Amino acid sequence: MVQIAPSILSADFSRLAEEIQAVAEAGADLLHVDVMDGHFVPNLTFGPPVIKAIRKVTDLPFDVHLMISNPDNYLEDYAEAGADYIGVHAEVCPHLNRTLTRIAELGKKPVVVLNPHTPLCAIENVLDQVSMVLIMSVNPGFGGQKFIPGSVEKVAELHAMISRRGLTLPIQVDGGVQADTIGPVAAAGARVFVSGSGVFGHAQGYRAAMEEMRERAREYVRQGG
Ligand code: DX5
Ligand code: ZN
């Protein structure tokens, strides 16, 4: 019911393969892969060659989060590199319906992503086209930022919007998610949690980090917030 997607942005890049195997063994459900272009977001990470290389290391589904300005130009490259989910930001897709259709045609799971300031109405008409919706709970670009509290209400509204349309669609949250922030957003309806520094920076190790988050999320969901 609760899925954790460690973000390799916070991994030790000099030991990337080992780090990925370690989170897989520690119980990760998905691997969150942050692609940044230094244009849409003020930071740069990596592209298809690195994804292709790490694809050999694990069977975990790759949840590729494209924080790039012209995703349409690169969808094939990320599909070929081994993405399972391909997430695009609504803010950079003037023809969002077309972009999501293309991802599905490539045999991948389309994900639509919203920055903290972008209203939900931007994606209302594409909800039936996606496998997951990602609500950013920080301004994208960096790991280790603070969770924006307003994200909780946004997730609750999205959850209601999805139910009104009779859809069953997981809501994912990304940014500042760890044991002390996961509860309210889980109670609001999020089920897939990206965590970078919360997993890779946890003092008791990766397994403890993910178990603690899952436990906290379940507690809040049980109590209904
Ligand atoms: C932020 C990225 C996140 C980031 C999360 O731009 O999209 O996936 O790695 O890191 P934490 O969990 O440290 O906020
Ligand atoms: Zn991300």
With a 6 A CB cut-off, is 7 part of the ligand 1 pocket?
Answer: yes
β-strand partners of 192: 3, 172
What is the full per-residue pLDDT of the chain (225 aa) written as tens digits? 899 999 999 999 999 999 999 999 999 999 999 999 999 999 999 999 999 999 999 999 999 999 999 999 999 999 999 999 999 999 999 999 999 999 999 999 999 999 999 999 999 999 999 999 999 999 999 999 999 999 999 999 999 999 999 999 999 999 999 999 999 999 999 999 999 999 999 999 999 999 999 999 999 999 987
Distance CA 211, CA 26 (A): 9
Where b means 16+ CB within 10 Å and e means fewer, 39-53 reads: ebbeeebbbbebbee
pLDDT at 224: 81
Residue 174 CB less than 6 A away from ligand 1 = yes
- Which residue out of 12, 84, 174, 180 is catalytically annotated? 174
Burial class (CB in 10 A: 0-12, 13-18, 19+), 5: buried
Tokens 């990766």 belong to: 206
The residue contributing the CA closest to ligand 1 atom 2 is 140
Closest CA to 175 of 161, 157, 195: 195
Q: What distance in Å separates the CA atoms of residue 216 and residue 219, rounded to the nearest whole number? A: 5
DSSP reduced 3-state for 137? coil
Nearest 5°: the CA angle 188, 190, 195 is 125
pLDDT at 180: 97
Could you tell me the distance, in angstroms and rounded to a whole number, from the CA of residue 225 to the centre of ligand 2?
25
Residues 6+ apart with CB under 8 A from 64: 33, 35, 51, 78, 83, 84, 85, 86, 87
Q: Is 63 a catalytic residue?
A: no
What letter would DSSP give residue 47?
Answer: -
